[in-house]
Copies of this chain bind each other. A is one copy, B any other.
Amino acid sequence: MLDHSTPIDPILHAIADPTRRAMIERLTKQPVSVSELAGGFPMSLQAVMQHLSILEGAAVVRSEKIGRVRTVSLNPAALRQLESWVTAQRTAWERRLDRLGDILGETPEDAKE
């Protein structure tokens, strides 16, 4: 394992898990309490909490505790950050690929600079 310190890394790691993506999708509809959220998943509340702490660590969600109820909501900034990263990458790829043309099975002399 290498870097892991890039700001984008925790976000990618957070959304790489299907359960966490499902939680995100649930939160897209509206903010919910922890137990309310947990009710929708076939696992213990603790497991849900652990996923939540990863999501919150990546700033994908935020949460606030009022009384004994912790309400969890999305943080759109995280997705915007992810989106710009993806877009930047894709742009870089495509720019390069455009220049190279058909690489495999092609003459390699157009791969300079």
Chain A interface residues (CB < 8 Å from chain B): 1-4, 6, 9, 12-13, 15-19, 21-22, 24, 28-31, 41-42, 62, 64, 71, 73-74, 76-77, 79-84, 86-87, 89-90, 92-94, 96-97, 100, 103-105, 108, 110-113
Name 12 interchain pairs, CB-CB below 8 A, sorted by A: A3-B18, A6-B21, A12-B15, A12-B16, A12-B21, A31-B100, A64-B105, A76-B90, A77-B111, A80-B90, A81-B113, A82-B86
**Residues A76 and B3 in contact, CB atoms below 8 Å apart:** no
The A interface is mostly helix, strand or loop, or mixed, namely helix
**Residues A3 and B31 in contact, CB atoms below 8 Å apart:** no
Contacts of A77 in B (CB 8 A): 110-113
**Residues B96 and A89 in contact, CB atoms below 8 Å apart:** no
Contacts of A9 in B (CB 8 A): 18
Contacts of A104 in B (CB 8 A): 31, 62, 64, 71, 73
Q: Which of B15, B30, B82 contacts A111 (CB 8 A)?
A: B30
Instruction: Find the B residue at minimum CB distance from A112.
Output: B77
Bound-complex Cα distance A45 to B96 (A): 26
